[in-house]
Amino acid sequence: MISSKLVRSCCSVLLMSLAGCVTPAGGVALRPDGTPGPEECSEEARKAMSYLRLFVGEAAVVQIDANQSATPITLYDGPIESMLENDLGFLDAPSRLYGRVWTSGPQAVIRYYEAQPMNGGNKIPLCAVARMGMGQLRKRPESLPGTAVVDSTTAAVFIVDAFR
């Protein structure tokens, strides 16, 4: 039989490890059209972005899905790994950006919560969004529920201080 002391100890370790996660705990409230609602940028992300000289409005180009290169690409609701095509502040290309995709609205919405420099080191918390500038994230009509078929493999990514 497992002792309650061991169970409490294991739970404590698990909770402490989860406390360092930078992705939104508990999810994000959705708008009536299924797109994500407002979300604050974490204090850790704000500090990290300041150190890396990632100021609101800084922008770069990303490969939307580091695992797909042929067009069109299909994005799925849930986690995504994108790749910087040019430098973003002190983040050198081809650093990876990790975030989440929502596909319920007329275009895909991508929010980034972490960056992984390719020269090593820990993941860095940040707040950034992929923007539709030239229609890159507009869904094609054949997109099934929970997916967004988009024509472009790249998009602009912008640093933000909050998700709106």
Q: Each residue of 147-160: pLDDT tens digit?
A: 999 999 999 999 99
Q: What confidence tens digit (pLDDT) does each residue in 115-126 have? A: 999 988 899 999
d(CA 73, CA 71): 5
**pTM (2 decimals)?**
0.81
d(CA 116, CA 33): 32
State the pLDDT at residue 121: 84
Structure tokens at 137: 């994230």
State the pLDDT at residue 120: 83
Tell me if the bond preceding 24 is cis, omega within 30° of 0: no
- Which residue ranges of the chain lie beneath pLDDT 50? 1-26
d(CA 81, CA 128): 13
What is the architecture of the domain spanning 33-163?
Beta Barrel (2.40)
62: closest CA among 36, 93, 90?
93
d(CA 122, CA 114): 10
Count of CB atoms situated within 10 Å of the CB of 94: 15
164 touches 127 (CB < 8 A): no
State the pLDDT at residue 16: 33
Q: Where are the alpha helices (DSSP H) in 27-153?
A: 43-51
Mean pLDDT (the chain, rounded): 84
